[in-house]
Chains A and B, each alone.
Chain A
């Protein structure tokens, strides 16, 4: 069966420090991968979307970047964190079967607090 791992669960980082959040998927190949951010009391904002290795689209201009060094690994990074980067970050994956989009599966999230 497929599983998704996202870590760390919580993170407190000072302003100006770097960030690296990692997400890995097991049990499937060539998944679509997503990074979302959820600010307190708000909906989910799509940050990055990837359909394959090295294929990443950025949805909003921001202080963050994403990389997909392997088929089932998706990394969210920042060189210098801002206070506004605080939030709940979610990784997700989905697949296409028979031309239809399947449901997405989400990691447990990372609560990032920038201080």
Chain B
């Protein structure tokens, strides 16, 4: 069955340092994978998506993610964190029934 696992429930970085949010997936076929960001009391905004084209995907706000089939991973990175990046991040895929499957979420804190 298709699923995603976010390996960290909380990540804390200093402003200006790199960000790494980890996501592993489980799928019997080439999956569609997405990263979303949610600021407090807001809806979810799409950061980037992988749909079997280029394995390195660039998104909004300087984020990118690399699809690694050998590692079944789709980690989200950003070279330099900004205070405004503090939010909840979700790794998402679809199951075979067409339903969105969410990871547990990673809360990113950015210290000044």
Contacts and interface: CB of A to CB of B under 8 A. Distances in A.
Interface string B75-112: 00000000000000010101000111011110000000
Given A107-B43, A111-B41, A100 B32 contact: yes
Interface in A33-83: 34, 42-44, 46, 49, 51, 59
Given A34-B100, A43-B105, A51-B98, A103 B41 contact: no
B49 to A, nearest CB: 5
A44 B101 CA distance: 9
Contacts of B74: none
A104 B103 contact: no
A88 B41 contact: yes
Contacts of A103: 34, 46, 49
Contacts of A59: 99
B42 A43 contact: no
Nearest to A49: B99
Tell me whether chain A's interface is mostly helix, strand or loop, or mixed.
strand
B17 interface: no
B44 interface: yes
Contact of B51 (A44, A100, A106, A109): A100
A100 B42 contact: no
Interface of B: 32, 34, 36, 41-46, 49, 51-52, 90, 92, 94, 98-100, 102-105
The 9 A-B residue pairs whose C-beta atoms are closest, nearest first, are A106-B43, A101-B94, A106-B44, A108-B43, A44-B102, A43-B105, A43-B104, A101-B32, A109-B43
